[in-house]
Structure 1
Amino acid sequence: MKVGITGASGYVGQFIVRHFLQRGYTVRVLLRNVQKTKIFCAPDGRFEWTCGDMSNDVVLSEFVDGVHAVVHGAYDHLPGRYRGGEGDNLTGFLESNLNRSLALMQLAHGAGVEKFVFISSRAVYASGHLRGNLQEHSAAQPDTFYGAYKAAVEAMVSAWAYQLHWHAVSLRLTGVYGVVNPLARSKWYDIARAVVRGEEYSQGRNATEVHGDDVARAVELLLHEADARGQAVNCSDRLVSNREIAEIIQSISGERGPLPPQAKAVSPAVMDCAYLQRKGFRFGGVGRLRQSLRELVEAVQKEQRSSQ
């Protein structure tokens, strides 16, 4: 199977590309900058790229030609901002993300692409006041433009799936962690660097997280499960705090110092991952968290030594 992946050099995309290459798929990525192909250690003959961006129908047509499935994770936003990524240009934001996602879907379906997975977000649920579990069947009630755009594409994914009997699925992600390239983009990099340097990290925060490798495994599962068609599937592993992260990093590095404070805000609602659980899917849990943090600490320590 040849899989086309948008947003391949982004945070989540890197995990998806690596996973599919390791699993023996042929992967075609859509990249604005060909230099970013250097991120991936790709075997000869199983890695292709289309140079361009989502704004060009000719580029998208070339990208989808001959692929069996598309995983759409591209997201155009202000640097470092997901919610609020529209800045002061909402019209441009919707054109780049909502309209161009729909254009990609139409071109993919027209080209005979058999399967389509849209990378969505827990932002389709209202944030802040929600407590308890967020069910997959619950109505989307976004309170940000980011969440609204994701919910709108989800609705079109469902419509394409049921009206045209297309294997189109949405995967709703919580926060994603893991070591990426460049290292400084990795989640909790700033905490690891502070601990390694013996500095204080003062931001207390609770959040739900999932490792990028688990995301990639979930994407592969959805491509192959016939009853996934038209579904919006939750993907979230566990609730963690910055304090817990710092404690684990200290235990790995052997460093000691002040820990971040306990978060004062009420912990966020947890996504119920009923579909994946029914399929026997198992998240990495604390074991994968510790393994990923060890990888992060070792990379930060190496970076620290090279800068001295």
Structure 2
Amino acid sequence: MTLALVSGGSGFVGRFIVERLIGEGMSVRITGRTPPVDKFFSRSVQFVPQALDPESDFSAVFSGVDYFVHAAFDHLPGRYRGGEGGDAEGFRRRNHLGTAAFFRAAKEAGVRRAVFLSSRAVYGVQEPGAVLTEETVPHPDTLYGEVKLAAEREILAMAGEGFWPVVLRITGVYGPAGEGRRHKWADLFDDWRAGWEIAPRAGTEVHGEDVASAVSLTLSTSATVSGEVFNVSDIIVDRRELLEMVGEITGVAKPLPAAADCSTLNVMSCEKLRALGWQPGGRVKLAEFLRSSLANRGPE
């Protein structure tokens, strides 16, 4: 049976990836600082404790591993941009140097295919309204984006000699957060239902299951994708439209925020990933998620 290692597998995005690989019949091992709670996944997975420390010995983690997906990221809870808090140097050390060490260990262990979950934050400041392709020159404007880009470059330089790493630059991710956790819009919905004024805002989003399908596709494709970068994004979500949908589902009637100006957004082109067969769920999947997450919430 194929064994896949997912670092950060019990994180928000990592959980979707683990479930996808389980569903495809793989055996899954996860790493992190703490083990997942009981029944967090639909099937039992192996857990090996492992911090993002560039001085670590990763040999036990990679024993018998066929595929490696790096979804781990060390940051302050709930924060990516600004997630370094007051420890910028430690943040760089763990998330840049620690990540690079993970991938070097994977290559040395004979792992053939590996995926690094990067971020649209590497693009940083671009011309308003410009479409972002994988060829767009990155200009990260946060430490988060800088660290992701630095890790990308080291990982892609490792490609070759039977090691095929791929980088996925992922936009905002939504979806169910798992048992005992709240999804990313839960506070927004609560504030709106409570009558608080909501500021206009829009951004690009992709469902966690579609991220997982992109990971699966790049791990299993017969196409030559070693050392490649792929954008992963799906739809523009405006808070006004989102809350309007919530109101329709729940019967809540509260003032809606003004529509955001979406003309200045930098939308990510995903044609390169779609050419491999990737098909995200679009607005249908967004509506399904909202209906599911709001199923037990009545009008107030």
Name the structure 1 match of 2:213.
217
Task: Provide the rounded CA distance (Å) in 2 between the counterparts of 1:127 and 1:79.
Answer: 25
Structure 1 alignment gaps of length 5 or more: none
1:107 positional shift: 0.9
1:206 to 180, 183, 202: 202
For the residue of structure 2 that corresponds to 1:249, the secondary structure is helix
2:65 to 64, 67, 79: 67
* One-letter amino acid of the structure 2 residue matched with residue 61 of structure 1: S
Task: Provide the rounded CA distance (Å) in 1 between the counterparts of 2:95 and 2:38.
Answer: 23
Name the structure 2 match of 1:14.
15
The answer to whether 1:240 aligns with 2:241 is no
Structure 2 alignment gaps of length 5 or more: none
- Is the 8 Å Cα contact of residues 167 and 228 (structure 2) preserved in structure 1? yes
1:58 positional shift: 5.3
Q: Deviations over 1:134-177 (max 9, x none)?
A: 01122222121111111111111221114x45210000000000
Q: TM-score, normalised by structure 1?
A: 0.89
1:198 positional shift: 5.0
The answer to whether 1:89 aligns with 2:91 is no
Q: Return closer, same or farther for 1:133/1:35 CA change in 2, 3 Å cut-off.
A: closer
- Is the 8 Å Cα contact of residues 71 and 116 (structure 1) preserved in structure 2? yes
Task: Provide the rounded CA distance (Å) in 1 between the counterparts of 2:24 and 2:195.
Answer: 40
Q: Return closer, same or farther for 1:114/1:201 CA change in 2, 3 Å cut-off.
A: farther
For the residue of structure 2 that corresponds to 1:207, the secondary structure is strand
- Is the 8 Å Cα contact of residues 210 and 236 (structure 1) preserved in structure 2? yes
The answer to whether 1:268 aligns with 2:260 is no
Name the structure 2 match of 1:28.
29
1:254 positional shift: 1.7
* One-letter amino acid of the structure 2 residue matched with residue 21 of structure 1: I
* One-letter amino acid of the structure 1 residue matched with residue 122 of structure 2: V
The answer to whether 1:282 aligns with 2:279 is yes
1:201 positional shift: 4.9
For the residue of structure 1 that corresponds to 2:199, the secondary structure is coil
2:47 to 40, 46, 49: 49
Higher helix share: 1
- Is the 8 Å Cα contact of residues 200 and 257 (structure 1) preserved in structure 2? no
- Is the 8 Å Cα contact of residues 176 and 289 (structure 2) preserved in structure 1? yes
Q: Deviations over 1:56-101 (max 9, x none)?
A: 7656322111110110011111222111111221110011110100
The answer to whether 1:231 aligns with 2:228 is yes
* One-letter amino acid of the structure 1 residue matched with residue 77 of structure 2: P
Task: Provide the rounded CA distance (Å) in 2 between the counterparts of 1:224 and 1:53.
Answer: 27
The answer to whether 1:170 aligns with 2:167 is yes
Q: TM-score, normalised by structure 2?
A: 0.92
- Is the 8 Å Cα contact of residues 158 and 230 (structure 1) preserved in structure 2? yes
Name the structure 2 match of 1:190.
187
Name the structure 1 match of 2:117.
119
Seq. identity, %: 37
Task: Provide the rounded CA distance (Å) in 1 between the counterparts of 2:38 and 2:231.
Answer: 30
Name the structure 1 match of 2:5.
4
- Is the 8 Å Cα contact of residues 53 and 94 (structure 2) preserved in structure 1? yes
* One-letter amino acid of the structure 1 residue matched with residue 19 of structure 2: R
* One-letter amino acid of the structure 1 residue matched with residue 207 of structure 2: H
Instruction: Answer with 208-217 or 52-61: which moved more.
Output: 52-61
